[in-house]
Amino acid sequence: MSYQPITDIEFSGLHLIEASAGTGKTFTLSSLMVRIFLEKYLPNQVIATTFTRAAAAELKTRIRLRLQDMYRDLQAYRG
């Protein structure tokens, strides 16, 4: 496995995020999802999975919060 910056990841094919607990997988995955929505708007072509319902709920919450933050930032930028 190798490190690849979030901004360098292509939106084609399959990608696996694999790492130990507490290393930022949820942050990375939520960042990628927000990037996909903002750059490509492909919600029907994206799936994210995890091992537990609790982790899936956490991921869903983080994605929504990040999207809300981005929306507020864009609104503030537009004035």
For residue 23, is it within any domain?
yes
Scanning the structure block, which residue is given the tokens 């930028």? 77
Count of domains observed in the chain: 1
pTM for this model (two decimals): 0.72
In a domain, 28, yes or no: yes
What CA–CA distance (Å, rounded) separates 71 from 79? 12
Q: Which domain holds residue 35?
A: 6-78
Neighbours of 18 (CB within 10 A): 7
**pLDDT at residue 1 in the model:** 60
Handedness of CA 42, 55, 25, 69 (dihedral sign): positive
Q: Is the pLDDT of residue 71 over 80?
A: yes
Q: How far apart are CA 27 and CA 78, in angstroms?
A: 27
Is 74 a domain residue? Answer: yes
Per-residue pLDDT reduced to its tens digit, 32-65 = 888 888 887 777 777 777 888 998 899 899 989 9
Q: What is the mean pLDDT of the chain?
A: 84
| pLDDT bucket at 2, cuts 50 / 70 / 90 | low
The verdict on residue 22 lying in a domain is yes
